[in-house]
Amino acid sequence: MACAREIAAQLQQGTGLHPLLWPTADGRANVACLLHGTHPENNGRTVLLMGHFDTVGVKEFTALDPDNSGHIAFRPAELRELLLAKLAKGRTSDEEEVWQDLTATAAELDDQPAWLFGRGVCDMKSGVAINIALLRQLWAEREQLAGNVLFVACPDEENESTGVRAAVPDLLQLRHDYNLSYLGLINTDYAAPRNSHDSGHSIYTGTVGKLLPSFYIVGVPTHVGEPFRGVDAGQIAAEIVRRINLNTALCDRWVREDLEQAGGMRMEVGVPPITLKIRDLKTEYNVQTAAEAFVYINWLTYTTTPAQALATMIDEARAALNTTLHRRNEQYQLFTHSGTLPTQYEPQVISYEELCQRVRQTLGWADDPVAFRQFLHNIAAELDHELTIHQPDALRLALKLDLSADLRTKSRLMVEQLIRYANIQGPAIVVFFSPPYYPHVHPTANPLTHAFREVLQEKRHTNQAGHEVRLQGFYPYISDLSFVCLDDNIQENLPSLVDNMPTFHHGYSLDFGAMADLHLPVMNFGPWGKDAHGLYERVHMPYSFETVPQLIYEAIGGVLKGRSG
């Protein structure tokens, strides 16, 4: 809350702006500030600016600043001196680029350092600073604005985007109260070089989505002295990861018209899926193989809907389970020098929705969805109680809980209980989604993209700074942009998400109706930096503090300046 108040104070400094604090459910607040243009042609057209002001932790900095738990990360001048001293003594090959940036100067800044180091300077305090500077400047020129500018600063993006999710209904209410026409939203999250051929100087016109496919694995436990009698849940989990992790065949793709080349086409390819968690669910040492295991995968999407993702992950899970059983048979024959097979089992791979249907049948609620919903509510409420920090560690271990329990853990525990009720025997896999869900937003042409294109063309024509910047498609990192719009292809497939996410309506929810109603064209254009979230997080100041705000300022002017302005 202190940071929100400081942003509000910065907006008020030297202006007549009146920022508001929009509370979130967790006790924090969004900062919202509406600048009304006073040009007589103002008919309510409004450009939105957005940024988040939370950062990740500073554990990496503890070795540099042990007495203050690494908080030197928030003091860039002191941090710079420490890093200079540290790297001057010796550096790895990976740190050579860091050293070059650390010692680089910028003529545009009177030979001052070109790079600013510290936690959050890249992701994303600089983006918030850009928006504050823009609003102050536009306030001074409000008589030329035939429209409005609305800035929203959000307190949480790094966790589950609590800030923007809470802001969506407020944005709808503000639109109604002031009869505003939202033209689009510019998010100022950071960009970085994606590879050696990428400058990172990009204006993105859509944003990547994210799904968290999850797998609850039921094995057939056995004594380690008789390994072929059972089926190891850990081996099934490992095979799932082997098949999916970094599998480029699962990269999502988007073929689109090139925004900067008439009639041209461009394919954009997302990064492949990557495992975020793999673990068996044993709580103590013994000589029994793992009876159960849990995996979840981070999968970025450009076009893939929840329904398509679920079908693909079920196929991958089925192939992983069959491969595990086939290898078990092969190894048994090699071990026994015979053509016989070990005990055979019937494998099962089902979705969470199918699991719920089996439980309803078992409990006699096949035709009573209300009773089953209450049943799920009771399970979720019970888990909420068990997952509180007030429970003794011994009980938490007995319940097979992570000590840092979250919605992913709660999802897994809900599935586990339903498996018991359905009496599912291994080997089996239940495929479901864990939170959070970030819908992708397809790139679109809109007044803001046209304004930026014109500004960039003018810069190139006159050979001014900014000629390296180009319009791109998907912003490649998950962002708050996912929650201010809802593409039609996702909206049509929402049941596949909601019906297969155990904690949806039980601790996690998204207001899809409000997102579809808001339906803002989105863009991301912010500071350029490197090593976000890392020890050497840094932002390039000439580009980030001069080029970026200037281009946004000119684009807003192109959209909102009155004819006599």
**pLDDT tens sequence across 256-280:** 765 555 445 578 899 999 999 999 9
Q: How confident is the model at residue 402 (pLDDT cuts 50, 70, 90)?
A: very low
Over residues 507-519, the pLDDT tens digits come to 999 999 999 999 9
**Is the predicted pLDDT of residue 467 greater than 70, yes or no?**
no
The class (CATH top level) of 210-433 is: alpha beta
pLDDT of residue 189: 95
Judged against a pLDDT cut of 90, whether residue 208 lies above it is answered with yes
- Is residue 345 packed enough to be buried (19+ CB in 10 Å), middle (13-18) or exposed (0-12)? middle
For residue 466, the one-letter residue type is G
Residue labelled with tokens 């993006």: 157
Least confident of 107-121, 126-140, 273-287, 380-394: 380-394
What tens digit of pLDDT does each residue of 151-207 get? 999 998 888 899 999 999 999 999 999 999 999 999 999 998 877 677 779 999 999
Q: Check whether 284 has a pLDDT greater than 60.
A: yes
Residue 17 has pLDDT above 90, yes or no: yes
Cα angle: 395, vertex 399, 403; to 5 degrees = 75
CB 440 within 8 A of CB 207: yes
Distance CA 548, CA 553 (A): 9
Of 98-112, 145-159, 345-359, 414-428, give the lowest mean pLDDT range: 98-112
Going from the C-alpha of 21 to that of each of 4, 24, 33, 258, 354, the distances in angstroms are 8, 9, 9, 40, 44
Confidence at 112, pLDDT banded by 50, 70, 90:
confident
pLDDT category of residue 362 using cuts at 50, 70 and 90: very high
Tokens 């719009």, located at residue = 485
- pLDDT of 15 reads 94
Q: How many CA atoms lie within 13 A of 361 on its CB side?
A: 9
Bridge partners of 288, per DSSP, are: 223
Of 429, 390, 75, 410, give the one whose Cα is nearest residue 400. 410
Looking at residue 334, its pLDDT comes to: 94
> 407 near 328, Cβ under 8 Å?
no
Q: Could you tell me the two tokens for 214? A: 């999850």
Q: Comparing 2-56+119-208+439-485+520-530 with 210-433, is the CATH topology the same?
A: no
Structure tokens at 437: 């869900």
% of the chain with per-residue pLDDT over 90:
78
Residue 311 has pLDDT above 90, yes or no: yes
**pLDDT mean over 30-44:** 96
**Mean pLDDT on 219-238:** 96
For 102, other C-beta atoms within 10 Å of its C-beta total 21
Q: Report pTM.
A: 0.90
- On the 0-12 / 13-18 / 19+ scale of CB atoms within 10 A, 526 is buried
- Evaluate if residue 396 carries a pLDDT over 90: no
**Backbone CA torsion sign across 221, 225, 227, 232:** positive
Domain boundaries, the chain: 2-56+119-208+439-485+520-530, 210-433
Q: Is the pLDDT of residue 466 over 80?
A: no
Cβ-proximal residues to 480 (8 Å cutoff; 6+ apart), any chain: 50, 52, 154, 157, 161, 163, 164, 187, 189
- CB-based contact 282:193 (threshold 8 Å): no
Does the structure show a pLDDT above 60 at 369? yes
How far is Cα 473 from Cα 202, in angstroms, rounded to an integer?
Answer: 9
User: How would you label 413-425 residue by residue, b for 16+ Cβ within 10 Å and e otherwise?
Assistant: bbbbbbbebbebe
pLDDT at 109 exceeding the cut of 70: no
Single-letter amino acid code for the residue at 527: P
- Percentage of residues in the chain with pLDDT exceeding 70? 92
Averaged pLDDT score across all residues of the chain: 91
Helix (H) or strand (E) holding 539, with range, is strand 538-540
Q: What is the mean pLDDT of residues 232-259?
A: 91
Residue 456 backbone zone (phi > 0: left; psi -120 to 50: alpha; other: beta):
alpha
Which conformational region is residue 161 in: left (phi greater than 0), alpha (psi within -120 to 50 degrees), or beta?
A: left
User: If you average pLDDT over residues 248-253, what whole number do you get?
Assistant: 96
Q: Could you give phi then psi for residue 117, rounded to 5 degrees?
A: -105, 150
pLDDT of residue 157: 86
Look at strands 213-218 and 292-301 and give their pairing: antiparallel
CB within 8 Å of 24: residues ≥ 6 apart? 30, 155, 156, 162, 163, 166
More confident residue, 107 or 419: 419
Between CA 356 and CA 364, with CA 361 as vertex, the angle to 5 degrees is 120
Lowest mean pLDDT among 129-138, 247-256, 316-325: 247-256
Query: Token pair 């988007």 is at which residue?
Result: 254
- Output the CATH code of domain 2-56+119-208+439-485+520-530: 3.40.630.10
